[in-house]
């Protein structure tokens, strides 16, 4: 798989054939059948938000194959960064992406960036106050990419989380063998916070790219971004799978091969999180993944990107039970990260 010099920002930056190539590469690395060519390579990882899996998988992937990674938290380990054009920098930001991007990229072979305005830290909702449309532009990430001289990898933005998508696709192939035309359900779950749509967008594509019959199960008002759904339909038509949206949980769970749970905030409520919490409260008891629902599946597997709130998003019984593939899914973050860096490296 050769993606030399490319950026990986959206799950749609990869063709279905390239996704398949990365899955094969990740599985070969996991089986010890090949080595990633990362010796002497350095990745800079810029984390504006907390992380366990993304940070450790990238650092571990680089270290295992003779490379290294430098993770930094802006404003803590570094200066505060600015990306606005023509900004008079007399506030809290000290360094502009016009210098930052070329400087980091002349020192490193890859740059990973996590910047999601909606990720919650502690008890406070993230810094997002504007509309979803504004945040979905992922301005910092795109501005950085504009001035970067090496591949830039999105480690989760407001709109996409492509590394999660690859780990999910790999886990589905591992567990199902041939996933084409098998039933994949991406179910919304209740959650006390309004979480970003980046992960469900990319999880949706993880199944679409494999030619699966995909159901997005969500209550009214919790549809994903319409343009993402349109792009997903375009791929579905080309690949021979299907895509539907419903709020009918009974029908969705019936005979499912994969149930992927994720909480996300309504796009209509961005910036009005307290109101959303009040309005979605009645959904709490009905929108959790439990044993009774999983029993309706065709002995389906359960996926969640983690971290997960036990007995809020999914019951202990499902998470600790035989349907759960969440540990494999998390482990596959490592092998897919290694496959991605290997593919992006100059040949």
Q: How many CB atoms lie within 10 A of CB 80?
A: 13
Which CB atom, from 251 or from 306, has the smaller least distance to ligand CP? 306
Of residues 54 and 297, the one with the C-beta less far from ligand CP: 54
CB of 116 to ligand CP, least distance (A): 9
Radius of gyration of the chain (CA): 20
Q: How far is the CB of 53 from ligand CP (least distance, A)?
A: 4
CB of 280 to ligand CP, least distance (A): 22
Q: Please tell me whether residue 288 adopts helix, strand or coil conformation.
A: coil
Cα–Cα–Cα angle for 52, 55, 59, nearest 5°? 130
| Residues 143 and 76: beta-carbon distance below 8 Å | no
Distance in angstroms (rounded) separating the CA atoms of residues 181 and 346: 36
Least Å distance, CB 175 to ligand CP, is 18
Q: Is 278 helix (H, G, I), strand (E, B) or coil?
A: helix
Q: Which is nearer to ligand CP, 168 or 213 (CB)?
A: 168
- Angle CA 222–247–271, to nearest 5: 10
Binding site for ligand CP (CB under 6 A): 51-54, 156, 164, 305-307
CB of 121 to ligand CP, least distance (A): 12
Burial of 31 (0-12, 13-18, 19+ CB in 10 A): exposed
CB-nearer residue toward ligand CP: 119 or 216: 119
Separation of alpha carbons 72 and 218, rounded Å: 36
Q: Measured from the CB of residue 57, what is the shortest distance to ligand CP in angstroms? A: 8
Residue 289 DSSP code = B
Q: Minimal distance in Å, beta carbon 92 to ligand CP?
A: 25
C-alpha 10/C-alpha 15 separation (Å) is 11
- Measured from the CB atom, the residue of 66 and 307 that comes closer to ligand CP is 307
Q: For residue 117, report the phi and psi dihedrals to the nearest 5 degrees.
A: -70, -15
Closest to ligand CP by CB, 25 vs 203, is 203
Measured from the CB of residue 329, what is the shortest distance to ligand CP in angstroms? 9
Nearer to ligand CP, 72 or 306 (CB): 306
Toward ligand CP, which CB reaches closer, 51 or 171? Answer: 51
Q: What DSSP assignment string belongs to 61-102?
A: HHHHTT-EEEEE-TTTTSPPEE--TT----SS--EEHHHHHH
Residue of 161, 325, 188 lying closest to 261 (CA atoms): 188
Q: At 149, which helix (H) or strand (E)? A: none
Least separation, in Å, of the C-beta of 96 and ligand CP? 27
Any idea what DSSP says for residue 246? E
């Amino acid at each position: 798989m050769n993606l030399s010099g490319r950026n990986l920002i959206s799950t749609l930056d990869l063709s279905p054939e390239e996704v398949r190539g990365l899955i094969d590469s990740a599985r070969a690395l996991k089986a010890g059948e090949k080595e990633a060519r990362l010796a002497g390579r350095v990745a800079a990882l810029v984390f504006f938000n907390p992380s366990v899996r993304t940070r450790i998988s990238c650092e571990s992937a680089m270290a295992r194959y003779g490379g290294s990674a430098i993770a930094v938290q802006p404003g803590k380990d570094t200066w505060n960064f600015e990306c606005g054009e023509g900004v008079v920098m007399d506030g809290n930001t000290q360094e502009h992406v016009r210098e930052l991007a070329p400087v980091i990229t002349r020192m490193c072979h890859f740059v990973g960036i996590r910047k999601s305005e909606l990720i919650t830290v502690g008890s406070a909702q993230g810094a997002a106050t504007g509309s979803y449309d504004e945040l979905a532009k992922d301005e910092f990430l795109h501005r950085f990419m504009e001035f970067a001289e090496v591949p830039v990898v999105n480690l989760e933005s407001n709109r996409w989380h492509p590394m999660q998508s690859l780990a999910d696709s790999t886990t589905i192939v591992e567990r199902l063998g041939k996933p084409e035309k098998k039933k994949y359900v991406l179910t919304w779950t209740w959650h006390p916070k309004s979480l970003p749509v980046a992960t469900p967008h990319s999880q949706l594509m993880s199944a679409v790219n494999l030619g699966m019959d995909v159901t997005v199960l969500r209550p009214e008002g919790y549809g994903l971004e319409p343009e993402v759904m349109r792009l997903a339909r375009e791929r579905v038509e080309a690949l021979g799978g299907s895509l539907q949206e419903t709020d009918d949980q009974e029908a969705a769970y019936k005979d499912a091969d994969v149930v992927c749970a994720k909480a996300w905030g309504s796009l209509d409520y961005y910036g009005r999180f307290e109101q959303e919490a009040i309005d979605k409260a009645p959904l709490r008891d009905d929108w959790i993944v439990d044993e009774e629902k999983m029993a309706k599946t065709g002995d389906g597997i359960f996926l969640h990107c983690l971290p997960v709130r036990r007995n809020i998003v999914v019951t202990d019984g499902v998470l600790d039970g035989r349907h759960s593939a969440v540990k494999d899914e998390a482990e596959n973050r490592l092998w897919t990260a290694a496959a991605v860096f290997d593919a992006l490296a100059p040949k």
